[in-house]
Homo-oligomer: A and B are copies of this chain.
Amino acid sequence: MSLTPQPVHPMAPQVPAMAREAAQSADAARQQITRCSGTFAELGARLRQHPPRFIITCARGSSDHAASYGKYLIETTLGRAVASVGPSVASVYNTPLDWKDSLFIAVSQSGRSPDLLRLTEAAREAGALVVGFVNHEDSPLMRMCDVGVPLCAGPEQSVAATKSYLLSGLAFLQLVAHWSGEPELRDAVTRLPEALEAARALDWSPALLRLAEARGLYVLGRGIGLGAALEMALKFKETCRLHAEAFSTAEVLHGPLALVGPGFPVLALGQEDNSAGSTRDVVRRLVELGAEVRSVLDVPGTEALPTVPGIPTAIAPLCQVQSFYMAVHRLAVARRLDPDAPPHLRKVTETV
Protein backbone atom coordinates (compact mmCIF):
# COMPACT_ATOMS: atom_id res chain seq x y z
CA MET A 1 0.00 0.00 0.00
CA SER A 2 1.54 3.26 -1.08
CA LEU A 3 1.72 6.13 1.35
CA THR A 4 2.10 8.63 -1.44
CA PRO A 5 -1.04 10.82 -1.51
CA GLN A 6 -3.16 10.03 -4.56
CA PRO A 7 -3.87 12.95 -6.87
CA VAL A 8 -7.53 13.73 -6.39
CA HIS A 9 -9.54 15.94 -8.69
CA PRO A 10 -10.82 18.66 -6.39
CA MET A 11 -14.38 18.42 -7.74
CA ALA A 12 -14.56 14.65 -8.17
CA PRO A 13 -16.13 13.58 -4.88
CA GLN A 14 -18.86 16.22 -5.07
CA VAL A 15 -19.94 15.63 -8.63
CA PRO A 16 -22.43 12.79 -8.90
CA ALA A 17 -22.65 10.65 -12.03
CA MET A 18 -25.87 12.47 -12.96
CA ALA A 19 -24.11 15.83 -13.32
CA ARG A 20 -20.94 14.32 -14.79
CA GLU A 21 -22.95 12.64 -17.51
CA ALA A 22 -25.16 15.66 -18.14
CA ALA A 23 -21.96 17.65 -18.71
CA GLN A 24 -21.07 15.35 -21.63
CA SER A 25 -24.16 16.36 -23.64
CA ALA A 26 -22.46 18.96 -25.83
CA ASP A 27 -19.72 16.55 -26.97
CA ALA A 28 -22.27 13.80 -27.50
CA ALA A 29 -24.36 16.22 -29.56
CA ARG A 30 -21.36 16.87 -31.81
CA GLN A 31 -21.01 13.13 -32.27
CA GLN A 32 -24.66 12.64 -33.15
CA ILE A 33 -24.55 15.45 -35.69
CA THR A 34 -21.41 14.04 -37.31
CA ARG A 35 -22.53 10.42 -37.32
CA CYS A 36 -26.24 10.81 -38.10
CA SER A 37 -26.66 13.82 -40.38
CA GLY A 38 -26.32 11.58 -43.43
CA THR A 39 -29.06 9.29 -42.14
CA PHE A 40 -31.28 12.29 -41.39
CA ALA A 41 -30.62 13.81 -44.82
CA GLU A 42 -31.79 10.59 -46.51
CA LEU A 43 -34.75 10.25 -44.18
CA GLY A 44 -35.70 13.89 -44.74
CA ALA A 45 -35.63 13.43 -48.53
CA ARG A 46 -37.77 10.31 -48.22
CA LEU A 47 -40.32 12.10 -46.02
CA ARG A 48 -40.54 15.04 -48.41
CA GLN A 49 -41.10 12.66 -51.33
CA HIS A 50 -43.70 10.51 -49.52
CA PRO A 51 -45.01 12.73 -46.74
CA PRO A 52 -46.59 10.65 -43.98
CA ARG A 53 -50.15 11.67 -43.18
CA PHE A 54 -49.50 11.56 -39.46
CA ILE A 55 -46.81 10.73 -36.94
CA ILE A 56 -46.91 8.38 -33.99
CA THR A 57 -44.44 8.46 -31.13
CA CYS A 58 -43.95 5.72 -28.60
CA ALA A 59 -41.82 6.18 -25.48
CA ARG A 60 -41.88 6.19 -21.70
CA GLY A 61 -40.47 8.47 -19.01
CA SER A 62 -37.78 10.95 -20.09
CA SER A 63 -37.86 9.64 -23.66
CA ASP A 64 -41.56 10.53 -23.80
CA HIS A 65 -40.74 14.06 -22.68
CA ALA A 66 -38.30 14.35 -25.58
CA ALA A 67 -41.13 13.10 -27.80
CA SER A 68 -43.31 15.94 -26.47
CA TYR A 69 -40.65 18.43 -27.65
CA GLY A 70 -40.63 16.61 -30.99
CA LYS A 71 -44.42 16.69 -31.24
CA TYR A 72 -44.60 20.48 -30.99
CA LEU A 73 -41.64 20.92 -33.35
CA ILE A 74 -43.35 18.75 -35.95
CA GLU A 75 -46.82 20.19 -35.48
CA THR A 76 -45.73 23.82 -35.59
CA THR A 77 -43.18 23.38 -38.39
CA LEU A 78 -44.81 20.77 -40.62
CA GLY A 79 -48.51 21.07 -39.73
CA ARG A 80 -48.91 17.34 -39.23
CA ALA A 81 -50.55 15.82 -36.18
CA VAL A 82 -48.48 13.74 -33.77
CA ALA A 83 -50.12 11.04 -31.67
CA SER A 84 -48.37 9.68 -28.60
CA VAL A 85 -49.52 6.08 -28.43
CA GLY A 86 -49.12 4.09 -25.23
CA PRO A 87 -47.13 0.87 -25.69
CA SER A 88 -49.98 -0.98 -23.96
CA VAL A 89 -52.20 -0.55 -27.03
CA ALA A 90 -50.27 -3.44 -28.56
CA SER A 91 -48.82 -5.24 -25.54
CA VAL A 92 -51.98 -5.35 -23.50
CA TYR A 93 -54.91 -4.88 -25.86
CA ASN A 94 -53.77 -6.67 -29.02
CA THR A 95 -55.65 -4.34 -31.32
CA PRO A 96 -55.05 -4.69 -35.08
CA LEU A 97 -53.82 -1.31 -36.26
CA ASP A 98 -54.20 0.64 -39.48
CA TRP A 99 -51.20 2.95 -39.71
CA LYS A 100 -50.49 3.08 -43.45
CA ASP A 101 -48.80 6.31 -44.59
CA SER A 102 -47.72 7.10 -41.08
CA LEU A 103 -44.33 7.66 -39.54
CA PHE A 104 -43.73 5.77 -36.31
CA ILE A 105 -40.94 6.95 -34.01
CA ALA A 106 -39.87 4.84 -31.04
CA VAL A 107 -37.61 6.56 -28.51
CA SER A 108 -35.67 4.49 -26.02
CA GLN A 109 -32.37 4.49 -24.20
CA SER A 110 -32.03 0.72 -23.79
CA GLY A 111 -34.06 -0.35 -26.83
CA ARG A 112 -35.29 -3.43 -24.99
CA SER A 113 -38.49 -2.72 -23.05
CA PRO A 114 -40.88 -5.53 -24.12
CA ASP A 115 -43.99 -3.34 -24.49
CA LEU A 116 -42.17 -0.86 -26.69
CA LEU A 117 -40.74 -3.63 -28.88
CA ARG A 118 -44.19 -5.11 -29.28
CA LEU A 119 -45.78 -1.83 -30.37
CA THR A 120 -42.90 -1.19 -32.76
CA GLU A 121 -43.43 -4.61 -34.32
CA ALA A 122 -47.15 -3.89 -34.58
CA ALA A 123 -46.38 -0.55 -36.25
CA ARG A 124 -44.36 -2.33 -38.94
CA GLU A 125 -47.16 -4.78 -39.57
CA ALA A 126 -49.60 -1.86 -39.72
CA GLY A 127 -47.65 -0.35 -42.61
CA ALA A 128 -45.86 2.51 -40.89
CA LEU A 129 -42.35 3.71 -41.66
CA VAL A 130 -40.56 2.77 -38.45
CA VAL A 131 -37.80 4.99 -37.07
CA GLY A 132 -35.99 4.41 -33.79
CA PHE A 133 -34.03 6.90 -31.71
CA VAL A 134 -32.03 4.52 -29.54
CA ASN A 135 -28.95 4.89 -27.37
CA HIS A 136 -27.90 1.21 -27.28
CA GLU A 137 -26.86 0.46 -30.83
CA ASP A 138 -26.79 -3.25 -30.17
CA SER A 139 -30.41 -3.55 -29.09
CA PRO A 140 -33.45 -5.41 -30.44
CA LEU A 141 -35.18 -2.10 -31.17
CA MET A 142 -32.36 -0.95 -33.47
CA ARG A 143 -32.59 -4.16 -35.45
CA MET A 144 -36.35 -3.83 -35.80
CA CYS A 145 -36.41 -0.32 -37.33
CA ASP A 146 -36.49 0.74 -40.99
CA VAL A 147 -34.24 3.58 -39.94
CA GLY A 148 -32.30 3.25 -36.69
CA VAL A 149 -30.70 6.41 -35.38
CA PRO A 150 -28.10 5.97 -32.63
CA LEU A 151 -28.45 8.76 -30.07
CA CYS A 152 -24.68 8.70 -29.47
CA ALA A 153 -25.15 9.69 -25.84
CA GLY A 154 -22.53 7.16 -24.77
CA PRO A 155 -22.86 5.00 -21.65
CA GLU A 156 -25.24 6.39 -19.04
CA GLN A 157 -24.77 4.98 -15.51
CA SER A 158 -26.90 7.37 -13.52
CA VAL A 159 -30.43 6.10 -12.86
CA ALA A 160 -31.71 9.57 -13.73
CA ALA A 161 -31.32 9.94 -17.51
CA THR A 162 -29.85 13.26 -18.60
CA LYS A 163 -27.74 13.36 -21.75
CA SER A 164 -29.90 10.70 -23.41
CA TYR A 165 -32.87 13.08 -22.96
CA LEU A 166 -31.03 15.97 -24.61
CA LEU A 167 -29.75 13.71 -27.38
CA SER A 168 -33.28 12.43 -28.06
CA GLY A 169 -34.37 16.04 -28.35
CA LEU A 170 -31.56 16.70 -30.82
CA ALA A 171 -32.66 13.69 -32.87
CA PHE A 172 -36.14 15.20 -33.22
CA LEU A 173 -34.63 18.55 -34.11
CA GLN A 174 -32.42 16.96 -36.79
CA LEU A 175 -35.42 15.05 -38.16
CA VAL A 176 -37.56 18.17 -38.47
CA ALA A 177 -34.69 20.30 -39.80
CA HIS A 178 -33.91 17.84 -42.60
CA TRP A 179 -37.57 17.06 -43.37
CA SER A 180 -38.69 20.71 -43.52
CA GLY A 181 -35.48 22.07 -44.96
CA GLU A 182 -36.00 25.20 -42.83
CA PRO A 183 -32.66 27.06 -42.72
CA GLU A 184 -33.41 28.30 -39.19
CA LEU A 185 -33.72 24.75 -37.91
CA ARG A 186 -30.58 23.61 -39.74
CA ASP A 187 -28.81 26.50 -38.08
CA ALA A 188 -30.28 25.50 -34.70
CA VAL A 189 -28.83 21.99 -35.10
CA THR A 190 -25.39 23.35 -35.89
CA ARG A 191 -25.40 25.72 -32.98
CA LEU A 192 -26.71 23.28 -30.37
CA PRO A 193 -23.39 21.89 -29.06
CA GLU A 194 -22.00 25.30 -28.29
CA ALA A 195 -25.30 26.46 -26.83
CA LEU A 196 -25.33 23.42 -24.53
CA GLU A 197 -21.84 24.32 -23.38
CA ALA A 198 -22.98 27.83 -22.59
CA ALA A 199 -26.04 26.46 -20.78
CA ARG A 200 -23.85 24.09 -18.78
CA ALA A 201 -21.92 27.05 -17.39
CA LEU A 202 -25.02 28.89 -16.14
CA ASP A 203 -25.84 28.54 -12.48
CA TRP A 204 -29.41 27.58 -11.59
CA SER A 205 -28.38 26.38 -8.10
CA PRO A 206 -29.32 29.51 -6.13
CA ALA A 207 -32.87 29.33 -7.52
CA LEU A 208 -33.15 25.58 -6.94
CA LEU A 209 -31.49 25.40 -3.53
CA ARG A 210 -34.22 27.48 -1.97
CA LEU A 211 -36.51 24.51 -2.62
CA ALA A 212 -34.70 22.52 0.07
CA GLU A 213 -37.77 22.55 2.32
CA ALA A 214 -40.46 22.70 -0.39
CA ARG A 215 -43.28 20.13 -0.35
CA GLY A 216 -44.63 20.73 -3.82
CA LEU A 217 -43.94 22.71 -6.97
CA TYR A 218 -45.36 23.46 -10.39
CA VAL A 219 -43.15 23.51 -13.48
CA LEU A 220 -44.72 25.32 -16.42
CA GLY A 221 -43.94 25.23 -20.11
CA ARG A 222 -45.77 25.69 -23.36
CA GLY A 223 -45.50 24.40 -26.91
CA ILE A 224 -41.95 23.15 -27.57
CA GLY A 225 -41.18 23.99 -23.93
CA LEU A 226 -43.75 21.63 -22.39
CA GLY A 227 -41.42 18.64 -22.71
CA ALA A 228 -38.76 20.51 -20.72
CA ALA A 229 -41.29 21.17 -17.94
CA LEU A 230 -42.30 17.50 -17.88
CA GLU A 231 -38.66 16.43 -17.73
CA MET A 232 -37.74 18.79 -14.88
CA ALA A 233 -40.81 17.77 -12.87
CA LEU A 234 -39.83 14.11 -13.22
CA LYS A 235 -36.25 14.78 -12.13
CA PHE A 236 -37.42 16.76 -9.08
CA LYS A 237 -39.42 13.71 -8.04
CA GLU A 238 -36.80 11.15 -8.97
CA THR A 239 -33.74 12.74 -7.42
CA CYS A 240 -35.16 15.15 -4.79
CA ARG A 241 -38.40 13.42 -3.66
CA LEU A 242 -40.07 16.75 -4.36
CA HIS A 243 -43.60 16.56 -5.70
CA ALA A 244 -43.21 18.70 -8.78
CA GLU A 245 -45.92 18.58 -11.44
CA ALA A 246 -45.66 19.96 -14.95
CA PHE A 247 -48.44 21.86 -16.70
CA SER A 248 -48.93 23.64 -19.94
CA THR A 249 -48.81 27.34 -19.15
CA ALA A 250 -52.30 27.55 -20.70
CA GLU A 251 -53.77 24.65 -18.68
CA VAL A 252 -52.56 25.89 -15.30
CA LEU A 253 -55.22 28.61 -15.26
CA HIS A 254 -57.88 25.91 -15.03
CA GLY A 255 -58.20 23.76 -11.88
CA PRO A 256 -54.48 23.57 -10.98
CA LEU A 257 -54.52 27.28 -10.06
CA ALA A 258 -56.41 26.38 -6.88
CA LEU A 259 -53.17 25.23 -5.22
CA VAL A 260 -51.33 28.46 -5.97
CA GLY A 261 -51.11 30.95 -3.13
CA PRO A 262 -48.55 33.02 -1.18
CA GLY A 263 -45.18 31.28 -1.26
CA PHE A 264 -46.23 28.49 -3.62
CA PRO A 265 -43.13 27.64 -5.64
CA VAL A 266 -43.27 27.73 -9.43
CA LEU A 267 -40.62 27.23 -12.09
CA ALA A 268 -41.80 28.98 -15.25
CA LEU A 269 -40.14 28.04 -18.53
CA GLY A 270 -40.74 29.64 -21.89
CA GLN A 271 -39.08 30.66 -25.10
CA GLU A 272 -39.17 33.82 -27.19
CA ASP A 273 -41.59 32.55 -29.81
CA ASN A 274 -45.26 33.43 -30.37
CA SER A 275 -46.18 31.91 -27.03
CA ALA A 276 -43.96 34.27 -25.01
CA GLY A 277 -46.59 37.01 -24.60
CA SER A 278 -49.26 34.74 -23.15
CA THR A 279 -46.67 32.95 -21.00
CA ARG A 280 -45.70 36.30 -19.47
CA ASP A 281 -49.40 37.02 -18.79
CA VAL A 282 -49.76 33.74 -16.89
CA VAL A 283 -46.58 34.36 -14.91
CA ARG A 284 -47.83 37.84 -13.97
CA ARG A 285 -51.08 36.29 -12.72
CA LEU A 286 -49.13 33.81 -10.58
CA VAL A 287 -47.03 36.64 -9.13
CA GLU A 288 -50.24 38.54 -8.29
CA LEU A 289 -51.45 35.49 -6.35
CA GLY A 290 -48.26 35.57 -4.28
CA ALA A 291 -46.52 32.59 -5.90
CA GLU A 292 -42.74 32.40 -5.61
CA VAL A 293 -41.86 32.23 -9.28
CA ARG A 294 -38.50 31.50 -10.86
CA SER A 295 -38.77 32.40 -14.52
CA VAL A 296 -36.63 32.18 -17.63
CA LEU A 297 -38.65 34.99 -19.23
CA ASP A 298 -38.16 38.42 -17.83
CA VAL A 299 -41.23 39.21 -15.67
CA PRO A 300 -41.23 41.68 -12.76
CA GLY A 301 -41.60 40.06 -9.35
CA THR A 302 -39.96 36.79 -10.39
CA GLU A 303 -36.48 35.47 -9.78
CA ALA A 304 -34.62 35.34 -13.09
CA LEU A 305 -33.28 31.97 -14.20
CA PRO A 306 -30.20 32.61 -16.36
CA THR A 307 -30.47 31.56 -20.02
CA VAL A 308 -28.16 31.53 -23.01
CA PRO A 309 -28.67 34.77 -24.97
CA GLY A 310 -29.13 34.94 -28.73
CA ILE A 311 -29.73 31.27 -29.49
CA PRO A 312 -32.40 30.00 -31.92
CA THR A 313 -35.79 29.60 -30.22
CA ALA A 314 -36.04 25.93 -31.19
CA ILE A 315 -33.15 24.94 -28.93
CA ALA A 316 -33.99 27.16 -25.95
CA PRO A 317 -35.89 24.38 -24.12
CA LEU A 318 -32.98 21.93 -24.51
CA CYS A 319 -30.55 24.49 -23.13
CA GLN A 320 -32.84 25.19 -20.15
CA VAL A 321 -32.89 21.48 -19.33
CA GLN A 322 -29.08 21.38 -19.61
CA SER A 323 -28.72 24.19 -17.05
CA PHE A 324 -31.25 22.47 -14.80
CA TYR A 325 -29.40 19.14 -14.92
CA MET A 326 -26.21 20.83 -13.73
CA ALA A 327 -27.93 22.14 -10.59
CA VAL A 328 -30.69 19.77 -9.52
CA HIS A 329 -28.26 17.30 -7.91
CA ARG A 330 -27.31 20.02 -5.43
CA LEU A 331 -30.92 20.27 -4.35
CA ALA A 332 -31.00 16.49 -3.90
CA VAL A 333 -27.97 16.71 -1.61
CA ALA A 334 -29.53 19.62 0.29
CA ARG A 335 -32.54 17.35 0.82
CA ARG A 336 -30.16 14.65 2.14
CA LEU A 337 -30.62 12.38 -0.85
CA ASP A 338 -28.14 10.72 -3.17
CA PRO A 339 -29.01 11.95 -6.68
CA ASP A 340 -27.46 8.83 -8.19
CA ALA A 341 -29.54 6.42 -6.13
CA PRO A 342 -33.22 7.46 -6.23
CA PRO A 343 -35.35 5.38 -3.86
CA HIS A 344 -36.73 2.11 -5.32
CA LEU A 345 -35.54 2.76 -8.87
CA ARG A 346 -33.39 0.82 -11.28
CA LYS A 347 -31.84 2.04 -14.50
CA VAL A 348 -34.00 0.00 -16.84
CA THR A 349 -37.67 -0.42 -16.09
CA GLU A 350 -39.20 -3.09 -18.27
CA THR A 351 -42.95 -2.66 -18.42
CA VAL A 352 -45.55 -4.83 -20.13
Contact = CB atoms under 8 A, between A and B. Distances in A.
A97 interface: yes
Nearest to A126: B79
Contacts of A96: 79
Contacts of A88: 222-223, 250, 275
Contacts of A273: 93
Interface in A109-125: 115
Nearest to A282: B351
B250 A234 contact: no
B54 A258 contact: no
Interface string A53-89: 1101000111000000000100111111111111111
A274 B93 contact: yes
A264 to B, nearest CB: 10
A289 interface: yes
A72 to B, nearest CB: 8
A83 B86 contact: no
A101 interface: yes
A259 interface: yes
A223 B92 CA distance: 9
A30 interface: no
A54 B274 CA distance: 28
Given A98-B80, A255-B160, A93 B345 contact: no
29 contacts: A51-B98, A53-B101, A54-B54, A54-B81, A54-B102, A56-B81, A61-B251, A75-B85, A79-B96, A80-B98, A81-B85, A81-B102, A84-B84, A86-B223, A86-B250, A92-B222, A92-B223, A93-B223, A93-B273, A93-B274, A93-B275, A94-B274, A160-B255, A215-B215, A234-B254, A234-B255, A255-B342, A257-B344, A258-B342
Interface of A: 51, 53-54, 56, 60-62, 72, 75-89, 92-102, 115, 126, 160, 215-216, 222-223, 234-235, 237-239, 241, 243, 245, 248, 250-251, 253-261, 273-275, 278, 289, 342-345, 349, 351-352
Going nearest first, the 10 A-B pairs with the smallest beta carbon separation are A238-B255, A83-B83, A81-B83, A61-B254, A79-B97, A76-B93, A54-B54, A258-B342, A234-B255, A250-B351
